[in-house]
């Protein structure tokens, strides 16, 4: 992959470093991002398929958030929410492969104004948009072998005396997955929502191999940071959304929106702690600004959870809102959700639309070819038929008791005993949608659930998004 290296200097809008910067050095910041990793697949969250010693070591040094959620379960809107502190409808990046509108706050620029040098290596912002966010050093190589060289060279040769905010995003475990894996497919544990077929196991083992690889690089990155960065460091590890399997990425089920979040800062965060505080990815921007002693911009959707990190509070949000607006022509499907401490309501405004993705349309050998086994099995096996049907077709409302049903298999939307709860959550969700000026835009011509013969890959028309 051709490497892009650029040094960008902001010429307008810079604020002087705060007065206290000359008295007390701000902490260095490292943000390490995985790409398409569901929390449940890590041992830290109950996964049993592989060992992740580096992630476990970071957790032993800091705080693990049991309930961290992204704003949207696809790459571009999720990362835009992280870097602006605003939900997709408010920042403008709603469907995948779109970007925030001009005038939105940008985390790197805010850190620059506080006196930080900011650097983005790999996939931090979506595609080539890191420059638009104001990162001062940018390198877009995102595969681990390239990151290993580029980040090390940068830190070894760095002479800037400012505190450093280093963002590193790997491409793992995003597809394509490798052709070989060190994990035995027969030993893989499958979610009860997936069909257990030979090829599903093979592809899960390949996905897990990339989780293993990103964990190994985390260990290397931490060693580099300890060697070349300040002793006082805030280290953040997370993922932009869940894995690219059915009922994961592109959906508002927990497999799509529940992500790992581990934050470490010795001396500030008590080692080996876990928090049940519900936090959103839009909360990361204000938290980093808060930790750096800056003023958090008004009117953000995000709120700082620094008090949770300091052990001063064990709660943060009582509601988590998430949105999905599609992935160009591959996935034309709207979903909105609200989550309480116990329940989640998902609203699918257009249940007449067919839910399709890269998985079932492309059937690639390096990712979703197992779906051919699923559709074949569905011809004779009733459970397989139900699973495939529930992948493509969703009811307008889905309501889950997350305590009793963590895998979200039992839709309680029509349960008479929960009628009042459903009514309240629907009203609350719609009020939030109005407050966001979310127009529930359908960005492309949908595929219809009653016309499966049309479910084929389509290209975006010239001039479209």
Cβ contact 317:277 at 8 Å = yes
Is residue 302 pLDDT above 80, yes or no?
yes
Would you say residue 465 lies in a domain?
no
Q: How far, CA to CA in Å, does 446 sit from each of 211, 351, 390?
A: 33, 11, 17
Same domain membership, residue 327 and residue 311: no
Same domain membership, residue 253 and residue 375: no
Phi, psi of 165 (to 5 degrees): -110, 105
What's 342's domain CATH number? Answer: 3.30.1120.10
Model pLDDT, residue 24: 83
**What is the tens place of the pLDDT at every residue in 100-148?**
999 999 999 999 999 999 999 999 999 999 999 999 999 999 999 999 9
Given 317, 350, 376, which residue is the final one in a domain? 317
Given 317, 343, 369, which residue is the final one in a domain? 317
Is residue 462 pLDDT above 50, yes or no?
no
Q: How far, CA to CA in Å, does 29 sit from each of 57, 233, 292, 308, 387?
A: 18, 6, 9, 18, 43
Same domain membership, residue 392 and residue 448: yes
Model pLDDT, residue 172: 98
What does the pLDDT average to over 377-403? 98
Structure-block tokens of residue 256? 């799509």
- C-alpha span between 293 and 283 (Å, rounded): 16
Residue range(s) defining the domain that contains residue 88: 27-317
| Spatial CA neighbour of 277 closest among 257, 304, 245 | 304
Under the banding of pLDDT at 50, 70 and 90, the label for residue 459 is confident
What's 274's domain CATH number? Answer: 3.40.720.10
| Spatial CA neighbour of 322 closest among 402, 249, 407, 413 | 249
The alpha-carbon radius of gyration of the chain (Å, integer) is: 22
Is residue 346 pLDDT above 50, yes or no?
yes
Same domain membership, residue 358 and residue 310: no
Model pLDDT, residue 460: 64
Lowest mean pLDDT: which of 14-18, 97-101, 401-405? 14-18
Same domain membership, residue 340 and residue 288: no
Same domain membership, residue 333 and residue 214: no
Model pLDDT, residue 102: 94
- pTM (two decimals): 0.94
Structure-block tokens of residue 189? 């544990």
Would you say residue 272 lies in a domain?
yes
- C-alpha span between 85 and 421 (Å, rounded): 29
- Look over the chain and give the mean of its residue pLDDT values, rounded to a whole number: 94
% of the chain beyond a pLDDT of 70: 94
Same domain membership, residue 231 and residue 363: no
Cβ contact 299:266 at 8 Å = no
**What is the tens place of the pLDDT at every residue in 163-182?**
999 999 999 999 999 999 99
The number of distinct structural domains making up the chain is: 2
Q: Rounded to a whole number, what is the distance in angstroms from the first to the last CA of the chain?
A: 25
Beta strands in 240-374 (DSSP E): 258-259, 261-264, 273-280, 320-324, 335-339, 343-347
Same domain membership, residue 399 and residue 292: no
Would you say residue 374 lies in a domain?
yes
Is residue 3 pLDDT above 70, yes or no?
no
What does the pLDDT average to over 324-348? 98
Would you say residue 409 lies in a domain?
yes
Model pLDDT, residue 10: 32
Same domain membership, residue 155 and residue 71: yes
Would you say residue 287 lies in a domain?
yes
Given 317, 351, 369, which residue is the final one in a domain? 317
Model pLDDT, residue 465: 36
Is residue 21 pLDDT above 60, yes or no?
no
Is residue 326 pLDDT above 90, yes or no?
yes
326 phi-psi bin (left φ>0, alpha ψ -120 to 50, beta other): left
Under the banding of pLDDT at 50, 70 and 90, the label for residue 23 is low
- C-alpha span between 399 and 464 (Å, rounded): 35
Burial class (CB in 10 A: 0-12, 13-18, 19+), 319: middle
Per-residue burial over 177-189, b if 16 or more Cβ lie within 10 Å, else e, is: beeebebebeebe
Same domain membership, residue 358 and residue 329: yes
**What is the tens place of the pLDDT at every residue in 217-268?**
999 999 999 999 999 999 999 999 999 999 999 999 999 999 999 999 999 9
């Amino acid at each position: 992959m051709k490497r892009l290296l650029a040094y960008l200097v902001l010429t307008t809008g810079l604020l002087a470093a705060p007065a206290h910067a000359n008295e007390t050095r701000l902490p260095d910041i490292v943000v390490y991002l995985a790409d398409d990793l569901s929390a449940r697949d890590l041992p830290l969250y109950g996964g049993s398929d592989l060992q992740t010693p580096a992630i476990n070591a970071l957790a032993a040094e800091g705080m693990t958030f049991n309930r961290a959620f992204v704003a949207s379960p696809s790459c571009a809107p999720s990362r835009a929410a992280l870097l602006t502190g605003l939900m997709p409808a408010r920042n403008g990046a709603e469907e995948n492969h779109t970007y925030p509108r001009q005038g939105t706050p940008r985390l790197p620029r805010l850190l620059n104004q506080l006196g930080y040098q900011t650097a983005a290596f790999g996939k931090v912002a979506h595609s080539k948009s890191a420059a638009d966010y104001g990162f001062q050093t940018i390198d877009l190589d995102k595969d681990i072998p390239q990151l290993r060289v580029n980040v090390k060279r940068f830190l070894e040769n760095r002479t800037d005396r400012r505190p450093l905010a280093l963002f590193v995003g790997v491409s793992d475990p995003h597809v394509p997955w490798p052709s070989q894996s060190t994990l035995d497919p027969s030993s893989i544990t499958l979610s009860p929502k997936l069909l257990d077929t030979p090829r599903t196991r093979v592809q899960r083992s390949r996905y897990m191999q990339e989780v293993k690889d990103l964990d190994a690089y985390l260990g290397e990155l931490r060693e580099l940071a300890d060697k070349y960065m300040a002793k006082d460091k805030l280290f953040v590890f997370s993922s932009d959304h869940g894995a690219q399997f059915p009922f994961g990425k592109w959906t508002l089920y927990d497999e799509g929106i529940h992500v790992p979040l581990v934050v470490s800062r010795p001396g500030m965060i008590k080692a080996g702690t876990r928090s049940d505080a519900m936090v959103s990815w839009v909360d990361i921007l204000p938290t980093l600004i808060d930790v750096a002693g800056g003023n958090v911009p008004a009117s953000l959707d995000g709120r700082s959870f620094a008090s949770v990190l300091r052990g001063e509070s064990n709660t943060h949000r009582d509601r988590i809102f998430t949105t999905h607006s599609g992935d160009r022509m591959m996935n034309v499907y709207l979903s909105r959700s609200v989550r309480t401490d116990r329940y989640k309501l998902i609203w699918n405004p257009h249940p007449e639309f067919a839910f399709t993705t890269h998985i079932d349309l492309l059937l690639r050998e390096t990712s979703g070819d197992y779906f051919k086994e699923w559709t074949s099995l569905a011809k004779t096996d009733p459970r397989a038929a139900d699973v495939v049907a529930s992948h493509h077709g969703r009811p307008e409302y889905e309501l889950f008791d997350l305590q009793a049903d963590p895998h979200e298999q039992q839709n309680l939307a029509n349960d008479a005993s929960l009628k009042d709860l459903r009514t309240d959550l629907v009203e609350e969700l719609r009020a939030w949608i109005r407050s966001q000026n979310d127009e529930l835009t359908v960005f492309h011509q949908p595929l219809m659930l009653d016309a499966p013969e049309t479910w084929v890959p389509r290209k975006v028309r010239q001039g479209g998004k």
